Amino acid sequence: MAPTILFIVLSLVFTLSSTHIQSSEEGFIFVQISNRGLDFAKDVLIDKAVSSIVPLQLPDIEKSVKIPVVGKVHVLLSNITIYHVDVASSYIHTGETGIVLVASGATANLSMAWQYSYRTWLVPVAITDDGGASVQVEGMEVGLAAALKNQDGNLKLSVLECGCHVKDISIKLDGGASWLYQVVVNAFEGKIASAVENAISKKIREGIIKLDSLLQSIPKEIPVYRTAVLNVTFVDNPVLSNSSIEFEINGLVTAKDAVLVSNYNHKGWKDIFFGSGPAKMIQISLQQDVFNSVSLVYFDADYMHWIVDKIPDQSILNTAGWRYIVPQLYKQYPDDDLNLNISVSSPPIIKVAKDVIGAIINLDVTIDVVDGGEVIPVACISLVHLIETSVCKS
């Protein structure tokens, strides 16, 4: 079981980083999201934002306008709906104060219904008409500045500033009197633009609140099989630089009953393993103590203990298979099954060096004969097993 855990932990190591190492008393896992990773996250975020924005219904706009010859006309624009948004380009910038995300050259397509009514002294009843219109919003700029902080071990994302600016809109009316187009353009263009600006800023603020509650819901402990938990509490504030965001996570594995097992001497980040390679989206560094805390928990939980009674060549696990090599054994226990009782006799020690992870494992192997239901140890071997794994960089 333990090697599986170790493998899982190891497979987390996409690559190892030696840059921007922070020293901390508590953080054992160090995560760095590079520019490439941030760019990727930005594209995903913008996609998600756009699909959560549309369709977006804006409040109705109405106004009475004086028209030469015609008189006072009441115009209502209703069911104003943004149904399509396109983002031409975007960038993300991280700095000490927070994260800035800008989408520029965005366009939006809107549909709406128009309706007007007026009275003249000529006819006693109100004259009304209605129809549809399409609106094209061009050159929209959307900017967001957000702060990312540690709040009680979770990441807290909050909006510092958020704005949307519409540069240009064009309106196409289906039908209507000849004066109507000019009225809509003159009296409503600015109102439509600011309705779009307000609605989009509001949606983005709401989106950040949702994203933040998602961050808040990240558990502080992740169960690792049945017996242990990995402490994923964030330690300190994330460090934002112009090329990356860096986090430290406690990262120690403890037994589920919350007995802290790590008494390891904390040696600082020099113990993490280093690597280099082409730009990665995310880099994760694990300190040696992380491995040792896993090892100690599994040793304490009595997990490093196996009885082997099934192997591909089953004949080896029978005294008959050893008849010519150890004839005494066969003579004493003819045709009895054998099993191997393998125990790890002390917590494996894991050493981390540049590009290499080594483990020293002390094994006690007992060979048992199963004679009519009775288990009789017949041999005992102590082994010191040294495993070295080089860390592959993908």
Ligand X SMILES: *[C@@H]1O[C@H](CO)[C@@H](O)[C@H](O)[C@H]1NC(C)=O
Residues that bind ligand X (CB under 6 A): 26, 79, 81, 84, 109, 111, 113, 136, 153, 231, 233, 235, 242, 250, 254, 258, 260, 307, 341, 343, 364, 366, 368, 375
Helical residues (DSSP H) of the chain, grouped into ranges: 2-11, 35-53, 180-183, 189-216, 288-300, 327-332
Closest residue to ligand X: CB criterion: 250
What is the Cα–Cα distance from 216 to 154, expressed in whole angstroms? Answer: 6
Nearer residue to ligand X within complex by CB, 117 or 341: 341
**SS3 state at 388:** strand
Q: Count of CB atoms within 10 A of residue 310's CB? A: 8
Q: Shortest Cβ distance from residue 107 to ligand X (Å)?
A: 7
What is the Cα–Cα distance from 389 to 357, expressed in whole angstroms? Answer: 5
Q: Shortest Cβ distance from residue 308 to ligand X (Å)?
A: 11
Nearer residue to ligand X within complex by CB, 153 or 321: 153
Nearer residue to ligand X within complex by CB, 66 or 226: 226
Q: Shortest Cβ distance from residue 21 to ligand X (Å)?
A: 17
Q: Shortest Cβ distance from residue 113 to ligand X (Å)?
A: 6
Query: Which class for 173: exposed (0-12), middle (13-18), buried (19 or more C-beta within 10 A)?
Result: middle
Q: Shortest Cβ distance from residue 122 to ligand X (Å)?
A: 31
Nearer residue to ligand X within complex by CB, 218 or 353: 218
Nearer residue to ligand X within complex by CB, 154 or 323: 154
The partner residues of 65 in beta bridges, in order of sequence, read 73
Q: Shortest Cβ distance from residue 172 to ligand X (Å)?
A: 8
What is the Cα–Cα distance from 122 to 248, expressed in whole angstroms? Answer: 78
Q: Of 58, 57, 67, 17, which Cα lies nearest the Cα of 37?
A: 17
Q: How many CA atoms lie within 13 A of 191 on its CB side?
A: 17
Nearer residue to ligand X within complex by CB, 82 or 208: 82
Q: Shortest Cβ distance from residue 251 to ligand X (Å)?
A: 8
Nearer residue to ligand X within complex by CB, 113 or 349: 113
Nearer residue to ligand X within complex by CB, 208 or 317: 317
DSSP designation for 263: -
What is the Cα–Cα distance from 363 to 345, expressed in whole angstroms? Answer: 6
Q: Shortest Cβ distance from residue 355 to ligand X (Å)?
A: 28
149 CB contacts (<8 Å, ≥6 apart)?
A: 155, 156, 158, 237, 238
What is the Cα–Cα distance from 57 to 82, expressed in whole angstroms? Answer: 6
What is the Cα–Cα distance from 223 to 253, expressed in whole angstroms? Answer: 9
